[in-house]
Structure 1
Amino acid sequence: MLDKTTTTFSHVKPADTQFVAGGLRDFFLYRDLGIAEATHGKVIAHLVKANMAPETGTGWHRHEADFQIVIMTKGWAKFMYEDKETLVQAGDVVHQRPGIRHYLFDYSPDMEYLEIVSPADFKTVGVEPVCAIPAPAPWV
């Protein structure tokens, strides 16, 4: 039987929360979807969108998380997952296995994605470079 006491019902409408700066990356904006509060920190879900043109990207890192998916809702982004360049376009879903070393290095001006991670207070840890990173395309 599902334990209904460890989470609460949540319904967040677009007007309830705004995109704001101050998240993990200063070149992105984040919109909280209320899931961290509803799950008491078990899961976080937020929308992330481009705020500034890519200059250096995220740098090589990994997350200390049990689960992470990215669902690209608009535009595109280019990642390095270990030594594999990966283009993620609107409609694509990426499951980032725990600890995978990655680098988001390029994205479109309209890029927006839904990110779901467990736990909500996951850590980001810088790692040594895995390989060279292609230069981002200039925004026009």
Structure 2
Amino acid sequence: MLDKTQTQFSHVKPGDTKFVGGGLRDFFLYRDLGIAQATNGKVIAHLVKANLPPEEGTGWHRHEADFQIVIMMKGWARFMYEDKETLVEAGDVVHQRPGIRHYLFDYSPDMEYLEIVSPADFKSIDVEPAAQIPKPTPWPAQRTED
């Protein structure tokens, strides 16, 4: 039976939390969905959206995490997973196995994805490159806000 003392019910509506900077990457904005608090740090779920054009990308890294999925909600992003380029488009779901070396190097101005990771305080560790990174797609000079 589920131990209800370890987690709490959570219901976050769109207006309850805002997209803010200060997350893992300064070129993205993050919207907390209240899951880390509800699970006492077992899981984090947040929406991530593009804030600035992809200049350097995330760099090669891996996560110290037991579980991670990315669900692309809007737009697209291009990743390198080890030595394989992967285009992730709206509606796609990616399970990143623990420790996989990856690099998010390109994304559309409207990119937004849901990321779910366990544990909530996962670490991002820089690693040696696994392959050469293609150039990102330039953004239009002016971008319109949603």
TM-score range, shorter chain: over 0.9
The equivalent residue for 2:134 is 134
State the identity %: 84
Residue 33 of structure 1 pairs with residue 30 of structure 2 = no
TM norm structure 1: 1.00
Moved over 3 A (4+): none
Q: Which residue matches 1:98?
A: 98
- The amino acid across from 1:41 in the alignment is G
Q: Distance in 1 between matches of 2:61 and 2:94?
A: 16
Query: 2: CA distance between counterparts of 1:97 and 1:43?
Result: 16
Distance 1:63 1:119 in 2: 11
Tell me, which stretches of 5 or more residues in structure 1 are unaligned? none
5 Å matches for 1:46-125? Answer: 46-125=46-125
SS in 2 for 1:37: helix
Amino acid at match of 2:84: K
Residue 108 of structure 1 aligns with an amino acid whose one-letter code is S
Which whole-Å CA distance do the structure 2 matches of 1:62 and 1:2 have between them? 31
Gaps of 5+ in 2: 141-146
Counterpart CA distance in 1 for 2:2 and 2:25 is 36
Find the counterpart in structure 2 of residue 10 from structure 1. 10
Query: Which TM-score applies when normalising by structure 2?
Result: 0.95
Deviation at 1:4, TM superposition (A): 1.0
Q: What amino acid is aligned across from residue 35 of structure 1 in structure 2? A: I
